[in-house]
Amino acid sequence: MSPARLSANSAAAKIKAGELSSEALVQACLDRVSEREPEIRAWSWLDADAALAQARACDRAVGPKGLLHGVPIGVKDVIDTADMPTAYGSAIYKGYRPRADAACVSLARAAGAVILGKTETAEFASIHPAATRNPLAPAHTPGGSSSGSAAAVADFMVPLALGTQTGGSTIRPAAFCGVVGYKPSFNRVNRAGLKFSAESFDTIGFFARSVDDIALLAHVMSGQERLGDAGLREDKAPRIGLCRTSRWSQASSQMREVIESAAQKLAAAGADVELVALTPAFEQLHEAHAVIMQYEAARATAWEYRVHGDLLSPAYHQRMRAGLAIPHERYEAALRQAESGRQDFADVWGELDVLITPSAVDEAPLGLENTGDAVFNRIWTLLGVPCVHLPFGTGTAGLPLGLQVVGRRQGDVATLTCARWIEDRL
C-alpha cells in the first residue's frame, strides 16, 4: 500500500517508530498529486521541492517531536501562509505573500506538520466555484467553498486538510467527496490570519478520512482532550436525536432513506434514538443567517469591490450589491434573532448527547457551475455548534451520501466521541 493511503495517526506513529520517513510519505503524496492533479485541480499552489525540504528537515530533527511530526497537510487558500502565496481564490491577490502564518497554520507547524501546499477555494470562500472537480466523479461538483481541501483528502493526495465554514463550506464538500468533515464550535480554533467572509460565522474546519484523524488535528489546534479522555465513555451507547429540521422535504428521497436507515442501525446497535422537532422559530434562522452573512461579507471585501471590482466575478458583484443594500437595522434584528436561537437551542437537548440530520440535500450534483445547497448546514453554523459529517450509503449515481452529527456548543470532545461510536457502527 502506498504511504499516501495511510491515516494521519498511522503515518505519525510509523514516523515516530522509525518505520517510515517523512520524506517517503511526502513523496508518495506528491506522486499521487502528479498523477491526479491535472484532472482534479485540488491545489492552487504546490512546490514539490519546498515540501520535500520540509520533510527532510523533519527527518533530521532531534529531540521531542510534535503529534503531527512529518505528516503532510493541505491549507485552504483563504488561510495565510508566510512561505506560500495566499490568493483567497481571487485574481486580485495573485502572487500575494502574507508576512505571517495564520494561527492554525502556525499550530500545525509547531506540531511538526509539513505544509504540502494551498488548496483551491471558491472566490473569497463565497459562491463562485474554483476549478476543482470531484475526485469520485469529475463531472460532478466537489462542493464549496473548501473544494480543494475535501478533494485532496478524498483522493489520497494528503491525509489532512484545513478548510473553513461560513454556511456549509466544510460539511457539504466532505459529504460530496465522501470524507469526514468537522466544523468545530464557533471560535474553537483561533481565526487570526483567516480572510474573513462573515465574522459572525467563519470557522476553521478540518478534513480527514476518519474521526480519529479529525480528533488528532482538533487536539493540536485547540488543546482539547484526545478521544478516550472524554467524560462520555466510548463503549457507552449515546442518546441520539433524529432531527429532520423544517427543510426535510428538500432532501432527496434517497437522502431521507439513508438518514432513517442510519437511525435504525444505531438503535439496533444499542443507541437510544428519538425524534427531535425544532420549534417554528428555528425556521426563521435561515433568513437571519442570509442577512448576517451577506451584510458582513459585503463589508469584509469593500476595498476589493471599490478598487478592483473589474477582477471580481459577476456572482460576487451581485452578492456585494445585495449585502450593501441591507439596512443596518435589519442586520441588528438578525443578530438578535441569532442570539435568541442559540439560547433556545439549549432547551432542545434534554438528555440527548448528539443530533443526527442530513449533511446535504443529496449526493454531489452533476455540473461544476455551482457548489450545491447549504440548506442543511446554515442554522448549525449560525448556532455555532460542532458538526461532523460521516459518509454512509450511496446515491443513484454511486456517489457518497451521509449524515451530520450535531453537538452542543463547546461540547466538541463529546460530539467527536459520539461521532466515532456512530462511525464504527455504520
Active-site residues, by number, are: 76, 145, 169
Task: Name the residue among 162, 178, 145 with its Cα closest to residue 81.
Answer: 162
Going by the DSSP 8-state scheme, the letter that residue 74 receives in this structure is E
Strand partners, 207: 161, 181
For the four alpha carbons of 182, 188, 194 and 200, in that order, the dihedral sign comes to positive
Q: How far apart are the first and last CA of the chain?
A: 25
Angle of helix 285-300 versus helix 314-324 axis, rounded to 10: 110
> Nearest-CA neighbor of 165 among 137, 151, 186, 148?
186
The torsion of the CA quartet 309, 314, 319, 324, rounded to 10 degrees, works out to 40
Q: With CA atoms as reference, report the closest residue to 383 among 406, 402, 403.
A: 406
Buried b / exposed e over 271-297, threshold 16 CB at 10 Å, is bebeebebeeebebbbebbbbbbbbbb
- Burial of 348 (C-beta count, 10 Å sphere; 0-12/13-18/19+): middle
Distance CA 306, CA 220 (A): 39
